[in-house]
Amino acid sequence: MLYALGVVGFALAILISVSLHEAGHMVTAKRFGMKVTRFFVGFGPTMFSFRRGETEYGVKWIPLGGFCKIVGMTPQDDDIDPEDEPRAMWRFPVWKRTIVMSAGSITHFALALVALWFAAAFVGLPNPDLPKDDTEVRSQPAQVFVGECVKIQASERPCAVGTGTDIASPAFAAGLRTNDVITQVGTTPVDNYGELTDTIRAQQPGPVPFTYVRDGQTGTATVTLVAVERAPIGDPDGPVQRVALAGVNWTTTKPAFVTYGATGAFPAVGDYAQQLVVGTFESLKKIPEKVPALWNSITGSERDPETPISVVGASRLGGEAIAAGLPQYFLMIFIALNVFIGIFNLLPLLPLDGGHIAIAWFERVRSWLYAKLKRPDPGRVDYFKLMPVTYAVILIGGAFTLLTVTADIVNPISIFR
C-alpha cells in the first residue's frame, strides 16, 4: 500500500512541477503583454475547461504534462487574428522572449531549491563527509560490514545461504561483526579499506588471523578465506578472477543524511545544488554511451544502475523510498529530476525551450552584425527550414523515452541495489 501511494505521489509531484513549468511561461508572457489563449494540464481529450478573460484553462485526460499557447511564438504561425498581431510573441524584444521561454526551467530550479531547503532543514541532505566514489571508499578506515552470506559467483540477486553457490560468511562465522575496524590480516598491517581488500585478495584460501578493534578493545579472529570469482577492483567489467574472500564490506557509523536547521540550510543548499548541476551535465554527456546498456537490460542483461531513468522509473523509486520509510530518497529523486528537466529544456535544440532562445539570440546577433556592415536586416529565421532537424530531435527523443520507459518496466533500477 505504501509503495503504491509513493508511486502515485511521485507521479503527481512531477505532473504538478511540469504544470508549474507551463505556468511559468504563461505568467511571464501575460506580464509582458503577450496573448496566452490556452493553458491545459495533460494531453488528449478535454476533461473540463473554463475561460477567464482571454485564456481558456482546463484539464485533459492524459496526465503526461501540460501546455500553454502563446500567440505568435514564431513568425510562421498562421493562426493569429489581425487584432492580435501587435501582441505576437515574436514581435517582442529578445530579452523578454528569453525570460518567457526560460521561465519554465527557472520554475523547475525554484522547486528544486525550495525542496532542497526543506530537506536540509527538516529531513536531511546526503552527508558530505561520506565518500562519494570507490576511490574515496578505499581511503577510509577499514571499518567493515559483516553479513551472514557471501556469493561464490558474483551476481546482482540477493544472497541466501544454500541457494546455488552462496555460503555462510567466513568473517561472520569467525566472530567478526559489523563496525569492527580491521588493523591486520595475517602478518600484514592495514591502514585503510583499500589496503584491507588488496591484502585479503592476495592471501591463499584457508585460515588467516584477523586483528580488529571493537569498542576500543583489540581482538583476533581466525577467518577461513574462501575462493570466489570476482572482477578486478575498480574494473567491474574486467575479466573475472579467482581470489580469496572474507565476506566483509566497508561501512561507517556516520549518518547517511544530516540536517542543518532553518538558517544553516542555506549554505548546504548552495553546495548541494552546485553538485547537482555539475552531476547533471556529466550525466547528459554520458547518455549516448548508456544507450547500449539500456537495450541490453531489456534483452536480459542486468540493469546498470548508472543508466538513465524515465518518469516511470523515478516514480517506482519514489514508491520504494516511501515503502521503506526513507522520505529523504523521495525528495532527493524529485529534486534531481527537476534539475535535470530544467537543464535539459535549455539545450539549444528545437522544439525545446532552449532552441527558441537560441534562435532569438541568433536573430538578434545577426541583425546587429548586418547593421554594422550596413547591409539590410535579413529578418527572422524561417522555422519551416528547421523542421527536418526538429523532427529528428523529436524522433530521437521519443525513441529514447520509449527505451527508458521499457527498461524501467522490464528491468527497473532499485534503491536497494
Where do the domains of the chain lie?
A: 108-129+258-417, 134-250
Joined together, the cell numbers standing for residue 281 give 551535465
Sign of CA dihedral 302, 308, 312, 314: positive
- The pLDDT, as a whole number, for residue 179 is 94
- The pLDDT, as a whole number, for residue 157 is 66
Rounded to whole angstroms, the Cα distance separating 407 from 144 reads: 34
Joined together, the cell numbers standing for residue 284 give 547528459
Rounded to whole angstroms, the Cα distance separating 21 from 102 reads: 9
Rounded to whole angstroms, the Cα distance separating 287 from 147 reads: 35
**Global pTM value:** 0.84
Rounded to whole angstroms, the Cα distance separating 327 from 333 reads: 10
Q: How far is CA 281 from CA 273, 339, 346, 398, in A?
A: 13, 10, 12, 21
Closest to 110 measured CA to CA, from 20, 31, 174, 26: 20
Cβ–Cβ contacts within 10 Å for residue 15, how many?
17
- The pLDDT, as a whole number, for residue 379 is 84
Q: How do the pLDDT tens digits run along the chain, 417 residues long?
A: 888 888 889 989 998 999 999 999 999 999 999 999 999 998 889 999 999 999 999 999 988 788 899 998 888 877 788 888 889 898 999 999 999 999 999 999 999 999 999 999 998 899 988 888 888 999 999 999 998 887 777 666 677 776 667 778 899 999 999 999 999 999 999 999 999 999 999 999 999 999 999 999 999 999 999 988 887 877 777 788 888 889 899 999 888 889 998 998 999 999 999 999 999 999 889 888 888 888 888 887 778 888 888 888 899 998 988 988 888 889 999 999 999 999 999 999 999 999 999 999 999 999 999 999 989 988 888 888 889 999 999 999 989 999 999 998 988 888 766
Cβ–Cβ contacts within 10 Å for residue 398, how many?
10
Of the candidates 22, 83, 302, 320, the residue annotated as catalytic is 22
Q: How far is CA 237 from CA 9, 34, 154, 231, 304, in A?
A: 37, 55, 12, 7, 11
C-beta of residue 335 within 8 angstroms of C-beta of residue 112: yes
Joined together, the cell numbers standing for residue 53 give 478573460
DSSP-assigned letter for residue 168? E
What radius of gyration do the chain's Cα atoms show?
28
- The pLDDT, as a whole number, for residue 242 is 86
Joined together, the cell numbers standing for residue 107 give 520554475
Joined together, the cell numbers standing for residue 304 give 546498470
Rounded to whole angstroms, the Cα distance separating 354 from 128 reads: 33
Fold of 134-250: Pdz3 Domain (2.30.42)
H helices of 177-260, where? Answer: 193-202
- For the chain, helix, strand, coil in percent to 5 are 50, 20, 30
153 φ, ψ (degrees, to nearest 5) = -110, 130
Residue 225 CA neighbour count, 13 Å, CB half: 21
Active site residue 22: yes
